[in-house]
Structure 1
Amino acid sequence: MTSYTHDQKDLELMKMAITQANISEPVESAYCVGAVLVAATGEILSTGFSRELPGNTHAEQCALDKLPDIGLIENGICYTTMEPCSTRLSGNKPCVERLIAAKVKKVVMGIKEPPNFVECSGVDLLRQAGIEVLVVPGVEEECLKPNQHILQTK
């Protein structure tokens, strides 16, 4: 079951994540995703976008890796334009595992991961770990836009 958020602050932070996704360089083998990490205090800790850092990195991974201390995000929120991955074809640790290990309390996302590469079970795994997952309605088109290079060819 999908739970939605209509909080204006969630929409603003999702727009920031969408801006990050649009910076991501398109490649045929991966989506362009953006992420924003927010501390429990409401402070924006870091942002990230797909392939921002070396090593075929995902947006959430980049945002987490840029933190000076992973403990800063404990009980915080990850805003991401696309459902955090549960399977990595590259062999990297899935973003769901990273977010669970970082002890975030909530993930706010724009869209579910389209099934072009893998069947993603990120939402289910996050909820099983006790992490609240919410969807910002009305941003689907903006979240899919930087991924047209994949979605139009499949």
Structure 2
Amino acid sequence: MRRAIALARAQVGLTGENPAVGCVIVSAGGVVVGEGATARGGRPHAEEIALDLAGAAASGATAYVTLEPCGARSSGAVACADRLVAAGVARVHVACRDPSPYAAGRGLERLAAAGLLGEVGLLADEAAFLYADYRPPGPAAR
């Protein structure tokens, strides 16, 4: 998770309205097979980048994500929680919950329903600075 926090830290202030997120995917053997951070302007998301790099090696792996993976996308694209499930990731650990009224809880619900949700709050104290100034867009109906 510390590596994911470092990846996100490098993107703070560069991701538009989106928060800076870091994601690291580690194989069952302990090898980092993919990593990413939210790109400039907010897209692609960290999980998308990490999963693309990991490819088939994501199957059975563990993902460490600094912010709850999105459970819905305003763009209509596949949500990161769904991408993690589809990739066959075995476990997802999350540092911080998403404060966005549009997204809060959706990703965690999807991961839990698929049996993938690991620890929520892993190194949350160390990751909290990433989202201290994050002001999500206005409320949206869930």
Provide TM-score, normalisation by structure 2: 0.83
Shift of 1:77: 0.3
1:89-134 C-alpha deviation (Å, 9 max, x unpaired): 1222110110000011100110111125533311111111121321
> Which residue of 18, 28, 48 maps to 2:5?
18
> Which residue of 33, 42, 50 maps to 2:21?
33
1:130-151 C-alpha deviation (Å, 9 max, x unpaired): 21321244x3243232334424
Identity %: 29
Partner of 1:94: 79
Instruction: Sort the Cα spacing of 1:152 and 1:130 in 2 relative to 1 into closer, same or farther, 3 A.
Output: closer
Aligned pairs for 1:41-52 (under 5 A) are 41-51=29-39
Aligned pairs for 1:97-136 (under 5 A) are 97-136=82-121
Partner of 1:11: none
CA distance in 1, matches of 2:137, 2:104: 18
Q: Secondary structure at the match of 1:89?
A: coil
Matched, 1:144 2:128: yes
Q: Would you say how many aligned residue pairs link Structure 1 and Structure 2?
A: 137
> Which residue of 32, 52, 59 maps to 2:46?
59
Which 5+ residue runs of structure 2 have no aligned equivalent?
none
Instruction: Sort the Cα spacing of 1:152 and 1:113 in 2 relative to 1 into closer, same or farther, 3 A.
Output: closer
Shift of 1:22: 0.5
Q: Secondary structure at the match of 1:20?
A: helix
When structure 1 is superposed on structure 2, of 93-102 and 108-117 the one drifting more is 108-117
